[in-house]
C-alpha cells in the first residue's frame, strides 16, 4: 500500500460564512454554534479516497473582506482551496469573487484546485444567493460546486472529497471515483 499523501488545504471566505463550522464538522463531527472568528487554526484529518490515504492539513483562515490584505501564507504550500460563502449573504458571495481574483494574482496561475461552497442552506427562509448563482460562478471558474449545511452535516464530507479530487487531477493523479472512506 502506498504511503499517505499529505495535502494542505485552505478554507477561505468572508467572515461568519461558516468556514470553521464546516472544518469542525469534518474533523470532529460536531457543529459549534459560536467560534472565535479572529483566529486562524490548522486541523488534521486522514481520509481514504479510492486506494489512496491522505493526511489533510486544513488551514481554517480568519474571515476576509474585500479590502483586507491577503496573507502570502495562503499561497505557500497550499494544494487546494475551499472558497465559502453564505447563501444568506450576497456580500459574502461578492467577497468570494474578490478572494478568487486575489488567489489567482498571488499564485500566478489561471486555474487552481478549488471548490466553491454555498453554506447555511438550513436557513432557507433567509436565502439571498440562489443555487443557480453559485453553480454559474463555479462553472465560470471551472470549479466543483457544493451547497451545504454545516449545522446538519449536509455534504460536508463531499466538499473534502471534491477538493482532493481537484488537487489530484491537477497533479495528474486523479483518484479512483469508486470509494471514499473517511476515518
Q: What is the pLDDT of residues 90-106, one digit of tens each?
A: 999 999 999 999 889 88
Cα dihedral 71→74→76→78 (10° resolution) = 180
Segment (H or E) for 105 = helix 90-107
Cell of 13: 471566505
* Total count of domains within the chain: 1
Whether the pTM exceeds 0.95: the reply is: no
Q: How would you classify the pairing of strands 144-147 and 114-119?
A: parallel
Which structural domain, as residue segments, surrounds residue 21?
A: 5-182
Q: Are 40 and 62 spatial neighbours (Cβ–Cβ below 8 Å)?
A: yes
**Who wins on pLDDT, 113 or 72?**
113
Segment (H or E) for 134 = helix 131-141
pLDDT score of 61: 84
In this structure, what CATH number is given to the domain that contains residue 76? 3.40.50.300
pLDDT tens by residue, 119-178 = 999 999 999 999 999 999 999 999 999 999 999 999 999 999 999 999 999 887 765 544
pLDDT score of 173: 76
Amino acid at each position: 500500500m502506498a504511503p499517505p499523501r499529505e495535502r494542505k488545504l485552505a478554507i477561505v471566505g468572508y467572515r461568519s460564512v461558516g468556514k470553521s463550522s464546516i472544518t469542525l464538522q469534518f474533523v470532529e463531527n460536531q457543529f459549534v454554534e459560536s467560534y472565535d472568528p479572529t483566529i486562524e487554526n490548522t486541523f488534521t484529518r486522514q481520509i481514504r479516497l479510492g486506494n489512496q490515504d491522505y493526511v489533510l492539513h486544513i488551514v481554517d483562515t480568519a474571515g476576509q473582506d474585500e479590502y483586507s490584505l491577503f496573507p502570502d501564507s495562503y499561497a505557500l504550500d497550499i494544494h487546494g482551496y475551499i472558497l465559502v460563502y453564505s447563501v444568506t449573504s450576497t456580500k459574502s458571495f461578492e467577497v468570494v469573487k474578490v478572494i478568487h481574483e486575489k488567489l489567482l494574482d498571488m499564485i500566478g496561475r489561471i486555474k487552481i484546485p478549488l471548490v466553491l461552497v454555498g453554506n447555511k442552506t438550513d436557513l432557507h427562509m433567509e436565502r439571498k444567493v440562489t443555487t443557480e448563482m453559485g453553480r454559474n460562478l463555479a462553472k465560470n471558474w471551472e470549479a466543483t460546486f457544493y451547497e451545504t449545511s454545516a449545522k446538519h452535516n449536509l455534504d460536508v464530507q463531499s466538499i473534502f472529497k471534491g477538493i482532493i479530487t481537484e488537487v489530484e487531477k491537477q497533479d495528474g493523479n486523479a483518484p479512483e471515483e469508486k470509494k471514499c472512506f473517511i476515518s
